[in-house]
Structure 1
Amino acid sequence: MTTDFVATRPSAASVVFRFQSLFGLVAVFIAAVVFSPSRDGELLFLSSGNLFNVVRAMSEIGIIAVGMTFVILIGGIDLSVGAVLGLAAVGSAVLLVENDFSLVPAVLLVLLVGLVFGLLQGIATTLFKIQAFIVTLAGLQIARGLARIWSGGQGVAIAYGSDPGEAPVAFSLLGERTFNGLVPIPALIFIVVAALAILFLRGSAFSRHVYAIGGNEQAARLSGVPVTRVKVIVFGISGFLAALAGIIHAGQLNQGSPNDGSTYELDAIAAVVVGGTSLSGGRGSVVGTVAGALLLGVLNNILALNSVDTNVQLLIKGLVIVVAAGLQGLRPS
């Protein structure tokens, strides 16, 4: 007896929805080229300096969005990441300038603060069965409060040198460019973080647990997935990456302020949603998030190059996010 196997090819609709962020990025990029102003016969948008500025401008949001992707994949949300960025920026400035820490201990301590903050939120969410929305909303307030206490309620400027009260000159490299002054250091860090996250989500048992929990938490638990541990670690990753973005933020702006990172959590969520990750969990990718972040970065850039009113910019970006979220509801299962 023979059995005939019929290869099923994915429908055009499923392909479009699967790669919606990439198609969207290409469409926005083409539109940016078409509507780009020019100077001396050169399109401003396509200049190498401008294109790298797009990546630099989205590097902090992109790094946060990578961590947010993990959280949303398990069906959660993290509203504290912007405040954690502010806490990390303040911590970096205070430790380097006021406490005379050397560079490596200061960076490691700030990253540890972000990691522990995220882990504690994960514990509160899983062990005490409090919704992630509530826990991280409270975490946002707590992180802002800690940042204000740590900084004395004001921004801390970073000056560089070897004297007391000055940060190591190496920290200023976060605001510099490499490869003949072309590629911003924050953009390189974003690329490395995204690449590691992509590899991690594609080739680890942990990633399979993340998707399983987002798809059906109860079924994942019954199949032996350590749900509590995975969820706590995921929130730890989000806090760690938010702290990394805060360190970069302080290095770029040469200061740390308790108000830094305001609304960054919304931009990160927008990048994840535009990237095609389902808010209900279980479906999405870091590749999509990176494309979503770049899409928003290109959109911001071309609107600014054309001197579009900031209020209109907000309107346009809001509509893009709504359309991206609406497309998820039409996506074939």
Structure 2
Amino acid sequence: MTGVQDRPVVAAPTEQRSLAATLFRFQSVFGLVAVVIAAIIVSPRKNGQILFISADNLANVVRAVSEIGIIAVGMTFVILIGGIDLSVGSVLGLAAVGSAVLMVEDNWGFVPSVLLVLLIGLVFGALQGAATAMIGIQSFIVTLGGLQIARGLARKWSDGQGIAIAYGDGKNEAPASFALLGERTFGGTVPIPVLIFAVVAIAAVVFLRVSAFSRHLYAVGGNEKAARLSGVPVVRVKIAVFAICGLLASLAGIVHAVQLNQGSPNDGTGYELDAIAAVVIGGTSLSGGRGSVAGTVAGALLLGALNNILALKNVDPNIQLLIKGLVIVAAATLQRLRPTS
């Protein structure tokens, strides 16, 4: 006997952990696939055609998702640093009102109106980031106040009234070029708001993959104190992140105004909750430091598909809220069960 015995190589636990990590990493994608399959199965039919997967219906799904999706991309940045932004829905309303007032009542052109509205969102977000980073107030409190401030500014700017957007070259008419943002392209199949959402999402994914700023962002979310000791400019990172979120909320407000042909100070109510839900379903940790924009996009599409099939089936709105709430809770529970390594 040599004293050496062959022993089986035990690799199963490592392989199981790797599989579990993969499943949790792509939870939103798997969830989206499951919802789509279920929707196809239960979808109503018309003349033998499955309504859910009809071209017009799918276009409506992604079009409806575009506004929340744009906001959710910005929310992902904020949550990755361990923050939250409750003001995005109100900023959307402020941007929608601003777009309408500037073009319809003040007779501004398309480009200057859009640039000013985007600047307002950028500055508003940056100020909230500064209050959080420099004064040390929790982002929940800062943005809760920002929610009220933005809504109040929208009501003051519009005198508390919704402003209809009509197009033309006359007085109190918006430039026809603004209406193009609500049209469809590629032979009338793809809504332009969907293209805007896609460009924002792709740019954010690339940005988080290749920029040095993204490493700082994840570092702040993972351990702010350690990041600061490592030389990460924490204050600048926080201000920049909230500024990006405000900018994208304003962009969503412009898209909202062109899709509804109006700007109302009440627009965007509750949108912040849908955006947070998309981020959570997408697998981004609410404690920060872990998550992705790709997951958020899948989460937003999941919510859009779920809303659509429930509407097609004429499910009671109260039951719809219940189902969506359960989906969000399930996604948050999965985060708690996710392996740490």
User: Normalised by the size of structure 2, how large is the TM-score?
Assistant: 0.95
Q: Does 1:152 align with 2:159?
A: yes
Match of 1:92 in 2: 99
- Alpha-carbon separation, structure 2, partners of 1:135 and 1:263: 17
Show the counterpart of 1:82: 89
Q: What's the secondary structure of 1:167's corresponding residue?
A: coil
Deviation at 1:189? Answer: 0.4
**Could you tell me which residue of structure 1 aligns to residue 5 of structure 2?**
none
**CA root-mean-square deviation:** 0.9
What's the counterpart of residue 7 of structure 2? none
Identity %: 75
CA distance in structure 2 between the partners assigned to 1:172 and 1:117 by the alignment: 26
SS in 2 for 1:272: helix
Deviations 1:126-175 (A, max 9, x none): 11100000000000000000000000111011111001111001111122
* Distance in 1 between residues matched to 2:183 and 2:45, nearest whole Å: 26
Structure 1 residue matching 2:52: 3-state secondary structure: coil
Query: Superposition pairs for residues 163-312 of structure 1, below 5 Å?
Result: 163-312=170-319
Query: For residue 34 of structure 2, what is the amino acid of its counterpart?
Result: A
Unaligned runs of 5+ in 1: 1-5
Whole-Å separation in 1 of the counterparts to 2:208 and 2:21: 21
2:50 counterpart (30, 36, 43) = 43
Aligned AA (1:202): R
User: What's the secondary structure of 1:45's corresponding residue?
Assistant: helix
- The residue identity in structure 2 corresponding to 1:73 is L
Question: What TM-score results when the alignment is normalised by the length of structure 1?
Answer: 0.97
Between 1:76-85 and 1:157-166, the stretch displaced more is 157-166
Instruction: Indicate the residue corresponding to 2:62 in structure 1.
Output: 55
Counterpart residue type for residue 122 of structure 2: L
Opposite residue 67 of structure 2, the aligned amino acid is E
1:19 maps to 26
**Partner of residue 3, structure 1:** none
For the pair shown, the structure with the greater C-alpha radius of gyration is 2
AA partner of residue 107 (structure 1): V
Query: Mapping of 1:121-132 within 5 angstroms?
Result: 121-132=128-139
Distance 1:52 1:284 in 2: 27
Residue type of the alignment partner of 1:29: V
Residue 291 of structure 1 aligns with an amino acid whose one-letter code is: A
Q: Give secondary structure in 2 for the equivalent of 1:71.
A: helix
Which amino acid is 1:101 matched to?
W
Matched length:
327
1:329 and 2:316 aligned: no
Separation (CA, whole Å) in 2 of partners of 1:297 and 1:43: 17
User: 3-state DSSP class of the match of 2:53?
Assistant: coil
Using the TM superposition, give the Cα deviation of residue 181 of structure 1 relative to its aligned residue in structure 2, in angstroms: 1.2
Q: 2:24 is matched by which residue type in structure 1? A: F
Instruction: Determine the C-alpha separation between the residues in 2 that align with 1:131 and 1:293.
Output: 26
- List per-residue Cα deviations over 1:71-114 (Å, max 9, x = no partner): 00000000000000000000000000010000000000000000
